[in-house]
Amino acid sequence: MEKYRLIKEIGDGTCGVVYKALDLQTNDVVAIKKMKRKYFFWEDCMNLREVKALRRLDHCNIVKLKEIVRENNELFIIFEYMECNLYEVMRERVTVFSEEEIRNLMSQMLQGLSYMHKNGFFHRDLKPENLLVTNGIIKIADFGLVRETMSKPPYTDYVSTRWYRAPEVLLQSSSYTSAIDMWAVGAILAELFTLSPLFPGESETDQLHKICAVLGTPDGSIWPEGMNFLRANHFNFFQFPPANIADIIPNASSEAIDLILQLCSWDPLRRPTAEQSLQHPFFHVKTWVPYPLKDPYYPRLNQTVSGATPKLELNLWDFGAEPDDSFLGLTLAVKPSVSDLDSKNRVSGQPQEELLFCSGFQGQCAQSFFWPLISPDRNAMNNAQVNPPVSSSYLTSSQAIQPSIGIPESSGYSFPQLQPKMFDFGSLLNISSPLQQRTFFD
């Protein structure tokens, strides 16, 4: 340990004391955890769950293990140094976090937790004090109570700080899962909005009382297995209706409240995983996906003819190569006139009649399909040529083409009466790509 110079003590826990120190060889600031018990064999050091987990876990949102030193039967675990923990950040806040700040912190924590669960460990002691923060980067730390997800029960019921302890642990279940981490995530998410704990129980009984006051008293339909825990412990739940959590967390969005309620479900089987939580709308409230997707033939603004009559665009989508996965979807949109389309997209010999043109599909480039698109004062049904003749055997009742499709008269165009038998999309099922966009335009 002569290569390190201790600077100051920054934490004192059950298992060890943490110091801020300087690596004299690299001039890096590090955190050194000095374990309180003695270790007489190196194998005992390597078999520590915290050491085994951190040696296997390498993620940007999990604190990095740098070195392990055993000296004079004392064990020192050297970590990267982080400036503070999330509890200290919340304690020093003058105003509440914005939802964007909360979203950033929570997404980082869930990414680290998802990685941990996928690699076979669950933390069992998630709380703001064990989430380290530096320059907006959050990392999960303190793996003293970590367990492998494949390890066999029974597990100890003394895990996690009481305020973040899942109800199945409070009821002394010995076969809990990584879902207890997700309960803690929900409690931490709520605390980030209010800067105060959601379930601040003073004892295990009071902790259950606080949970019932917020979530309401569970029954057999909400948490079937929990009723068995109650009977085994001769415990009666406090009778409460569920509170309106929007009143408890008034500055949270509806998406945030929904995620909190899912994570803090009585039944651990109903809690989303870390990976599923990252897909929740709370983390995607500002995500915008344009629809329809960009068309390669869509003109740039400077290529559009000013004052030109709008044209019609018809998009056909075929999802999946398997028949059971395929269905037909049609979208219709008005778009500006295209001035530079290739001449092959128009049919010569019919100067007064506009035609919708379908370019060839993959593997079927020799086939083209045409639908007439004419002015309102003309009858296209007598003149239009439809190639090839088709049947409606592919279309289901919910997918059949409606008898007529129209657009406002101001556009200058209207669709003729289209009968289901005009279309034969049976050949489209042979498309090899699982997702193909087909664009029809004039």
Q: Hey, which residues are catalytic here?
A: 125
Token pair of 180 as six digits:
């207890």
Query: Which of these, 122, 426, 110, 154, lies nearest to 263 by C-alpha position?
Result: 110
**Cα–Cα distance for residue pair 438/360, rounded to 1 Å:** 9
Instruction: For tokens 């995500």, name the residue.
Output: 287
Token pair of 113 as six digits:
């937790």
Query: Which of these, 236, 225, 219, 218, lies nearest to 173 by C-alpha position?
Result: 225
**Cα–Cα distance for residue pair 225/268, rounded to 1 Å:** 10
**Cα–Cα distance for residue pair 35/30, rounded to 1 Å:** 16
**Cα–Cα distance for residue pair 145/226, rounded to 1 Å:** 24
